[in-house]
């Protein structure tokens, strides 16, 4: 259906998420597990990152330097096809601001806007035959599940073996003395953000060393630009994960810095 709108190819953003997983895992191992810094926060949710930078300066030094899945996917596409025009499509409205600051993302559409385009062109996706995704490489299962709350941390953990090797190649890291202790925030509402602001002033009170935050309840899949409710989207996604024939191993990822 998307190709009928004039697009040449679709690339899963989960491919970029594999790189986010690896780089966040490598950074955690090098900086937090070794005790160089007390904690790290995930960086893939632009609404979370913006909120921290504006309202919680005490946490800013601990935001992961890893790029988002959108960023790395754009890098992958532009590396292969420098003259291509990249359009990120997803349920997140905050990606507009993030995309505007990325060299390799040209435009951002929400799922709702994609539906409007289908309606304008009288395209009914459910009536079209299924086609194989032309993406040359399948993403890992862990990164495909990135859109759900708590799944980013799971992907970071899955990437530890490759990230350990990556740090060795970079000459980074050291002896790990601390295990990963996650703190999950989803949604980032008035109550949870009040707690985050307290943590910004009292780092030693944070009950863990990796804060995973997704602004939307249940994760990106419940973003405001979606066309169905978050609960329905989550149920459909779980079913799609079960039906998908295969995934790649996260250890086979080509790393982008």
Examine residue 32 and state whether it is found in any structural domain, yes or no: yes
Residue ranges, the chain, pLDDT below 50: none
* CATH code of the domain in which 38 resides: 3.40.950.10
Strand 87-90 and strand 107-110: the pairing is: parallel
Residue carrying the six token digits 């079209």 = 128
Could you give the angle at the alpha carbon of 134 between the alpha carbons of 91 and 128, nearest 5°?
70
| Number of folded domains that form the chain | 1
Examine residue 4 and state whether it is found in any structural domain, yes or no: no
Question: Is residue 206 within a helix (H) or strand (E), and if so which, with residue range?
Answer: none
Rounded CA-CA distance 113/135 in Å is 23
Q: Which among 27, 42, 237, 248 is positioned nearest to 142, based on CA atoms?
A: 248
Q: Residue 13's pLDDT is what? A: 94
Examine residue 196 and state whether it is found in any structural domain, yes or no: yes
Using an 8 Å Cβ cutoff, are 183 and 211 in contact? yes
Q: What is the residue-wise DSSP string for 77-106?
A: HHHH-TT---EEEES-STHHHHHHT-TT--
- Please name the residues in contact with 242: beta carbons below 8 A apart, sequence gap of 6 or more: none
Examine residue 255 and state whether it is found in any structural domain, yes or no: no
Examine residue 254 and state whether it is found in any structural domain, yes or no: no
- Please name the residues in contact with 119: beta carbons below 8 A apart, sequence gap of 6 or more: none
Domain span holding position 53: 10-249
Q: Residue 248's pLDDT is what? A: 76
Q: Residue 172's pLDDT is what? A: 76
Tell me the CA distances in angstroms from 35 to 29, 39, 175, 176, 228, one per residue in order.
9, 9, 9, 8, 43
Examine residue 179 and state whether it is found in any structural domain, yes or no: yes
Residue 211: both structure tokens together:
């804060």
Question: Is residue 67 within a helix (H) or strand (E), and if so which, with residue range?
Answer: none
- Please name the residues in contact with 225: beta carbons below 8 A apart, sequence gap of 6 or more: 90, 91, 92, 93, 110, 111, 112, 113
What is the pTM (predicted TM-score) of this model?
A: 0.90
């Amino acid at each position: 259906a998307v190709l009928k709108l004039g697009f040449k190819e679709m690339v899963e953003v989960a491919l970029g998420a594999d790189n986010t997983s690896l780089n966040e895992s490598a950074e955690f191992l090098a900086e937090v597990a070794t005790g160089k810094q007390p904690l790290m926060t995930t960086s893939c949710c632009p609404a979370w990152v913006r909120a921290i930078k504006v309202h919680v300066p005490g946490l800013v030094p601990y935001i992961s330097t890893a790029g988002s899945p959108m960023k790395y996917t754009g890098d992958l596409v532009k590396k292969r096809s420098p003259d291509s025009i990249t359009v990120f499509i997803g349920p997140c409205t905050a990606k507009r601001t993030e995309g505007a600051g990325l060299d390799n993302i040209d435009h951002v559409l929400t799922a709702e806007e994609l539906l409007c385009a289908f309606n304008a062109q009288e395209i009914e996706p459910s009536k079209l035959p299924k086609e194989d995704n032309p993406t040359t490489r399948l993403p890992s299962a862990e990164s495909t599940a990135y859109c759900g709350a708590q799944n980013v941390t799971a992907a970071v953990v899955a990437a530890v073996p490759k990230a350990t090797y990556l740090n060795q190649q970079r000459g980074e890291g050291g002896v790990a003395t601390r295990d990963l202790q996650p703190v999950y925030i989803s949604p980032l509402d008035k109550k949870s953000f009040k707690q985050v602001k307290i943590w910004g002033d009292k780092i030693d009170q944070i009950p863990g060393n990796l804060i995973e935050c997704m602004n939307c309840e249940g994760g990106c899949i419940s973003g405001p630009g979606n066309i169905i409710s978050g609960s329905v989207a989550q149920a459909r996604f779980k079913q799609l994960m079960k039906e998908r024939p295969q995934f790649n191993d996260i250890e086979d990822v080509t790393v982008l810095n």
